[in-house]
Amino acid sequence: MGECRCGICNEDEEDSTHMFLKCKMVRWLWKACAKWWGINVTLQEECWNTFQNFERELKEASLRDGWDCIWNALVWTVWLARNQKIFQGKKIDAGKLFELIQMRSFFWVKSKNDRYAFNLVNWIMNPVACLRECYSKRRAPIN
């Protein structure tokens, strides 16, 4: 019957695996985030496996923490965009969603680390360097 089509692409049945992993636009977002972080992972058939794959790529705790923010920002951003498309007829622009993910994750990482001294441009240019720097300060004794 097809009444539960994906609210984003309208090409496939909408379930959580499709919406947060398999949807064409969402795959593009995952790849864009991985490229932004300089990590190389293969997207799996299921969300959990994909999550574990990313975690394996990120061996440092500081990076895993930061990546958790990306994961949350991506899922949240996709969910909001899907709802805005369905309920308000708003068009989805993958490039804009990627920028939103970068911005949201920046504010989340910043709020989790009180010593975070970087601005949004630093974060967009090199999130890995920002996190490493931030965590090295965290471990240093307070003067």
Residues forming contacts to Zn ion in the complex (CB under 5 A) are 6, 8-9, 23
CA nearest to 104, candidates 64, 72, 135: 72
**Contact between residue 65 and residue 58 where contact means Cβ atoms under 8 Å apart:** no
Closest approach of Zn ion to the CB of residue 126, in Å = 31
In the bound state with Zn ion, the residue whose beta carbon lies nearer, of 47 and 124, is: 47
Using H for helix, E for strand and C for coil, what is the string for the chain? CCCCECCCCCCCECCHHHHHHHCHHHHHHHHHHHHHHCCCCCCCCCHHHHHHHHHHHCCCHHHHHHHHHHHHHHHHHHHHHHHHHHHHCCCCCHHHHHHHHHHHHHHHHHHHCCCCCCCHHHHHHCHHHHHHHHHHHHHCCCC
In the bound state with Zn ion, the residue whose beta carbon lies nearer, of 97 and 130, is: 97
Closest approach of Zn ion to the CB of residue 103, in Å = 23
In the bound state with Zn ion, the residue whose beta carbon lies nearer, of 29 and 58, is: 29
In the bound state with Zn ion, the residue whose beta carbon lies nearer, of 11 and 60, is: 11
Closest approach of Zn ion to the CB of residue 86, in Å = 12
Closest approach of Zn ion to the CB of residue 35, in Å = 21
**Contact between residue 78 and residue 20 where contact means Cβ atoms under 8 Å apart:** yes
In the bound state with Zn ion, the residue whose beta carbon lies nearer, of 6 and 34, is: 6
Closest approach of Zn ion to the CB of residue 5, in Å = 8
